[in-house]
Chain A
Amino acid sequence: MSSDALRCEEVIEHLFEYLDRELEHVKSTEIERHLEHCRECFSRAEFEKRLRERVRATGEAVAPPRLRQRVQRLIARF
């Protein structure tokens, strides 16, 4: 644990809100400072970030040609 104001438990408690950019600026900055000094929390934050990137990537897909054709037919009727 680092010597700054936040304890590791507090950082872990707010880590997802921090990654979601849902924290107030002051709290977010405190967490950033903690992560600069605490290897354990930094490793945890990096793991969660990379896992989130993988989850986000599951939203990437190629629409099937039949869906494109279906939508084209639909729009042609508009």
Chain B
Amino acid sequence: MPHPGADKSKSLGRRERRELFERTVDRLMDRLYGAALRLAGDPDDAEDIVAEAVAKAWDGFGDLRDPGSLEGWLFRILNNTFISACRRRRTRAQVEQHTDPEIDDPSVIADFSLFEKLHQPFLLWWGTPEERFLNDLLREDLQRALNALPDAFRVVVILVEVQGHTYEEVADLLEIPIGTVRSRLSRGRSLLQRHLWDLAREEGMVPDTPGPTDSGSQP
């Protein structure tokens, strides 16, 4: 039995299809740009990715069985466009997958936990160092920390934490085993938290005590 929306977009006239497409793209533009910006880490690259994704989406729009699925489909194309661009240009994403010591050596970033760094037992939540840390944390700090992640880690963290994809969906998108998704996500989160800790110390948000970067030990 065909899908309820099967071939619906084909049944629309060219002008109607274009209007539907334009309305949807316009409505999603901020989110598409936000997703591309976090993936690429650079505003100019993000704009190129969105424009390329829109062009690709239009090319395939006539074959889309259910116009109602246009939104999810656009984000999938956006992600694929970014991933293809990484592969095509052999950017840091690929190079670092093989050469970055932080990726090859799990012990460098294993199990770093901001909570363990900040937490002091027996304090009530609203007066705790971790609560103060979250309150003082700027969006800019998070963006810097995310952008500082190796691409292979950042992409997985963004797909799961920002876009809300399941591990299986990420494995499918990136064409990697689900175990690799778990591993990159775990190490990406750990490294993100270490970057945030380093930033917080630079900014004086936490006492400037030796961290794992200096000592290699947990408190």
- Which residues of A does B touch, CB under 8 Å? 16, 20-22, 40, 43-44, 46-48, 50-52, 54-64, 66-68, 70-72, 74-75, 78
- Sample (13) of A-B pairs whose CB atoms are under 8 Å apart: A43-B128, A44-B115, A46-B125, A47-B114, A47-B118, A55-B142, A56-B162, A58-B38, A59-B31, A59-B35, A63-B50, A67-B47, A74-B51
Q: Say yes or no: A63-B130 contact (C-beta < 8 A), given A54-B137, A58-B146.
A: no
Q: Provide the main secondary structure of the chain A interface.
A: helix
Compute how far the CA of A60 lies from the CA of B25 in the bound complex, rounded to whole angstroms: 16
The 8 closest A-B pairs by CB, nearest first: A61-B34, A59-B162, A63-B33, A63-B29, A59-B34, A67-B47, A55-B161, A47-B115
Q: Say yes or no: A71-B34 contact (C-beta < 8 A), given A22-B166, A58-B143.
A: no
Compute how far the CA of A62 lies from the CA of B185 in the bound complex, rounded to whole angstroms: 27
* Minimal beta-carbon separation of A1 from chain B (angstroms): 12
Q: Are A40 and B146 in contact (CB under 8 A)?
A: no
Q: Say yes or no: A58-B162 contact (C-beta < 8 A), given A16-B189, A71-B29.
A: yes
List the B side residues contacting A44 at CB < 8 Å.
115, 119
List the A side residues contacting B70 at CB < 8 Å.
none
Compute how far the CA of A71 lies from the CA of B158 in the bound complex, rounded to whole angstroms: 24
Compute how far the CA of A70 lies from the CA of B157 in the bound complex, rounded to whole angstroms: 29
List the A side residues contacting B160 at CB < 8 Å.
20
User: Which of B51, B115, B125, B164 is within 8 Å of A70, CB to CB?
Assistant: B51
* Minimal beta-carbon separation of B145 from chain A (angstroms): 9
Compute how far the CA of A74 lies from the CA of B43 in the bound complex, rounded to whole angstroms: 19
B94: Cβ under 8 A from any A Cβ: no
List the A side residues contacting B87 at CB < 8 Å.
none
